[in-house]
Amino acid sequence: MKRTPRNEKPVVIAGGGIGGLACALGLAQRGFRVTVLEQAHEFGELGAGIQLGPNAFHVFDALGIGKLVKKDAVLIERLLMMDGVSGEKVIDIPIDARFRSRFGNPYAVTHRADIHGALLEGCRSIGLVDLRTDSRVTGFHSEADGVAVELGGGVRIVAAALVGADGLRSAVREQIVGDGEPPASGHMCYRAVLSLDDMPKDMRWPAATLWAGPNTHIVHYPLRGWKLFNLVATVVRDATMSGHNEEAPPEEVLPLFAKNCAKPMSIMRVPKVFRRWMLRYRPPVANWTQGNVTLLGDAAHPMLQYMAQGACMAMEDAVCLAVTADEADGDFAAAFGRYQALRLVRTARVQLSAVMMGHMFHADGIARLVRNEIYSDHTPQSYNEALDWIYRAPDYIVAANLKAPKRKSPAGRKRAGAPGSRAKAKKRTVAKHRR
C-alpha cells in the first residue's frame, strides 16, 4: 500500500543487519521514509543460531512480526549451566508457564536468517523503505537542515537524519566517538552448526546449555524445528590473535577444551570444521549521538555475547528510536537525544554484566567451586527475580506495542529512565497514531 511519508528527505540507516532493519521497520510503521544502505551485495545474516530472551519477543510484537518469528523458533524448556569439569548441574532455570507469564513472552532459540528474513519482509511490504545494497557509508557531513551521508566514489545522499547501525566497525561511530578499531578481547569463539543426526543422542536437550570450564565455555541448543544444533565454544586466548570467520580444524580446537569432561567433548568432536571468530569489545561510552546523527546496536554498545543480548539490545534500540522520533514528530535531534537518554544505562548495564558473566563462566580452581556454591541455593523464583531487569519490556517498548494487553508491573515499580508511567507512555503514542 502506498503511504504518504511524514518526512521529505529520508532517514538514512547505515547497515542492514538485524538492528538496522528493525529500525527501518519501526520508523516506517510510524510513517517515516527510510533508506537503508548496506555495504554487502545482498541483505543476509550469518548461518548460525541466536538466543532470544522474552525482551526480544516484546520487540517483535511491537514490530508486528512476533507470530512469524515464533513460528520458526524452538521454544526451549530450560536454561542450563553445567560444570564442564565435573558434569554437575549448576544453574537450571525452567522456561515454564510461570516464566512466560512473569515476562509476558517465551525464551527461544532460532536461526539468525529467520529473524533477519522476517524483518526484511516487513520492510519490503510496508512501502516506505528503500533498501540498497553495495552501498558502503564512509562518513557524514552535518548541514543546516539535514545531514549529507557520504558513500564511496563521491556519492552523497542528503538525509533528514542518519542512524549508524553499521556494527562493530562502524564508520559513523568513528566520526562521533572516534575510538578507532575495536580491540580484540582475547576471547576466541569456534562456531559450528550440527545436524540432528550428528548430535549425540543423549545430548539432544530441549535447553540452551552452557558448559562452564576453566578458561572456556561451550554453548549448544536446537535450531530450525530440531533439524539443527548450534554450537559455540569460546576460549580465552591471546588478544594479539585474529579471527573473522576463517575455518579452524578440530586439531586446533579440541586441545583448547581438553579440561572439559566427556559429555561436552562428545559434541565438540562432531564438527569436521569450525569457524573461528575473535570477539571484540568496547567498554560503554557516555555519548553516541551528534545532533541528528546517532548510533544503534553494536555500533553504539558492542558487547561480549555472554548475556545473549547483543541483537536483543539492537532491536530494543530500534523500537525506542522509532517511538522517540514519532513523539518528537520528526525533530530528529530532539528524538535522538531522548533515545540515547533512555537507552544508555540499560545497554551499558548489559555490556558490563556480560564481562562479569565471562569471569563467572571461565572460573578455575577454587573460584570455580565458589561459583558453584553461590548458585547452589537459588530457586527458579530467585532466578526470575534476578532476570526481571532484563527480560521485562521497558515502558517505551510496551507503549510501541499498541495491540498488547496491559500487564501489571510489580507493585508501584517504575523503570529507571522510562518516559513516564506505562499508561502515560502508551496514551502519548496512541494519541500520535490517531492524528
Ligand X SMILES: Cc1cc2nc3c(=O)[nH]c(=O)nc-3n(C[C@H](O)[C@H](O)[C@H](O)COP(=O)(O)OP(=O)(O)OC[C@H]3O[C@@H](n4cnc5c(N)ncnc54)[C@H](O)[C@@H]3O)c2cc1C
- Binders of ligand X among residues 89 to 128 (CB under 6 A) are none
* Minimum CB distance to ligand X smaller for 222 or for 330: 222
Within positions 17 to 36, which residues make up the interface with ligand X, using CB under 6 A? 17-20
Convert residues 297-336 into a mask of x (bound to ligand X by CB under 6 A) and - (unbound): xx------x--xxxxx-x----------------------
Q: Which residues contact 316 (CB under 8 A, 6 or more apart)?
A: 55, 59, 343, 346, 394, 397
Rounded to whole angstroms, the Cα distance separating 400 from 397 reads 5
Determine the Cα–Cα distance for residues 314 and 299; give it in Å rounded to an integer: 9
> Grid coordinates representing 168?
562493530
50 sits near ligand X (criterion: CB under 6 A): yes
CA distance 344 to 130: 29
Q: Which stretch binds ligand X (CB under 6 A): 160-168, 180-188, 319-327, 387-395?
A: 160-168
Q: Does 12 bind ligand X (CB under 6 A)?
A: no
Query: Rule CB under 6 A: is residue 171 a binding residue for ligand X?
Result: yes
Match 502508551 to its residue by C-alpha cell: 426
Stretch that binds ligand X, among 15-23, 118-126, 357-365, 386-394 (CB under 6 A): 15-23
Beta-bridge mates of residue 159? 147
- The partner residues of 34 in beta bridges, in order of sequence, read 11, 129
Binding mask 221-260 for ligand X (x = CB under 6 A): -----------x----------------------------
Determine the residue type at 299: A
Cell of 397: 517498548
In sequence order, what are the residues at sequence separation of 6 or more whose Cβ sits closer than 8 angstroms to the Cβ of residue 40? 16, 133, 134
What cell numbers appear for 57 in the block?
519477543
Q: x-or-dash pattern for ligand X, window 182-201, by CB under 6 A?
A: -------x------------
Stretch that binds ligand X, among 24-32, 161-169, 249-257, 327-335 (CB under 6 A): 161-169
Check if the beta carbon of residue 286 is closer than 8 Å to that of residue 179. no
Q: Which stretches of the chain bind ligand X, using CB under 6 A?
A: 14-20, 37-40, 50-51, 136-137, 165-168, 171, 189, 232, 277, 297-298, 305, 308-312, 314
